[in-house]
A and B are shown apart, each in its own frame.
Chain A
């Protein structure tokens, strides 16, 4: 149980285009989903926290107009990288909280999406 999927797993796009990444909880409802960014050989940096039906909370330094997050249902959150540039190339990972124990328990991670902007 507690499987999280991401789509696509890999995407290459031209500079200036927008890319949408989907994160789905397959067998549970996720009231909260998280989006992380990971540069090569580095750790995960939290970008934003996404709650179903409300606006996402962005971490300091993350541009909300550039990284649009929509958590439209209890099983789906999307991250849209708008007007992508080469510096946006990274590994984007989502996770979902099962909502047990006041939200402080395990997050389940998706397999990640490798974005390359040419």
Chain B
């Protein structure tokens, strides 16, 4: 079953604005990851945040994790037209050795208008 649920499903913003996407999940996790997918292409790993971390930065990306609410957010600052893509969160469950399957959410389709 789907673990992560992103919202919004679609987001359209002007270039230069910030974009925030949210992800909720249901079970305990080891870590949560955000991926990007351009139309018809493979996935690109953006950032991984572990269950004992609350915030992580990478360039223009900021990810937060609230394990009490079982939610995460991805913030892209100063968006560019090239950021147009679908963004997925994926979770790795916390259940001991060998559990490393990623469960993906439905994704947020981001459109950045030049």
Contact = CB atoms under 8 A, between A and B. Distances in A.
Interface residues of B, number: 26
Q: Main secondary structure on chain A at its contact with chain B?
A: strand
Nearest to B97: A102
Contacts of A107: 45, 100, 102
B107 to A, nearest CB: 6
A85 interface: no
Contacts of B45: 106-109
Contacts of A32: 100
Interface string A17-46: 000000000000000101010000111111
A110 B101 contact: no
Given A46-B101, A107-B45, A109-B45, A91 B88 contact: no
A111 interface: yes
Nearest to B88: A43
Given A93-B43, A104-B31, A106-B45, A43 B105 contact: yes
Interface of B: 2, 30-31, 33, 35, 40-45, 48, 88, 92, 97-107, 109
